[in-house]
Amino acid sequence: MLRSRSISWLLQLAVILLPLGSAHAASASYRYDTVHSQIVFSISHDGYSRPFGRLHIAKGWLRFDPDDWSTAATELDIDLGSLDMGDADWNKAVCKPSLLDCTHDRHAHFVSTRIERKDAQHGVLYGLLSMRGASQAVSIPFTFNRAGRTIYGLHDVAGFSATAMLDRDAFGITAYSGSIGHQVSVWLELEAIRDDHAVPPSKEQP
């Protein structure tokens, strides 16, 4: 009789503790590594070629749990002034007000609205991209590469690769329509460093 009561008590304890043991870990906070994160874009040059340009992330944060993407969110600023077309004069031309307008509106801003998980490593990030006073909804297919400790044990890092297609006309960039393409291909290679203070208090999970 005593043994039956002991087994019953152990079973009840296991039922109580099971939800705690099986629950997903809380989402971690990350800040973007502005050194190892880059944005590359390509656009038609009068039909002759599709030159590449590069931009850097100025700052941003990420909330992410590799096991549960339902609470994932991100926000970041892209430094248009970091534009690198491979030539100083070309950089100045693209940064003029008729195109990127890097001086008066230096940063493009992205904020996520939701995430759609496709499988263990792939998903689509939805959000709003704002630049030159215009905001447009964008969808960004991405791959979650990995999350873990760096080889030197300095940081916990999460890494992603993503692509997007943008219409420059939607952001008021309509100059030189006869020689510059309108569809912009974008590639993002992103690394984010674990930082418990990265996510602003107003953006933390309730």
Domains present along the chain, CATH in parentheses: 24-203 (2.40.128.110)
Q: Give the per-residue pLDDT at 25.
A: 52
Q: Give the per-residue pLDDT at 13.
A: 41
pTM to 2 decimals?
Answer: 0.83
Look at residues 53, 43, 37, 78 and name the one whose alpha carbon lies nearest to residue 166.
43
The answer to whether residue 95 scores a pLDDT higher than 90 is: yes
The answer to whether residue 178 scores a pLDDT higher than 80 is: yes
Average pLDDT score, the chain:
88
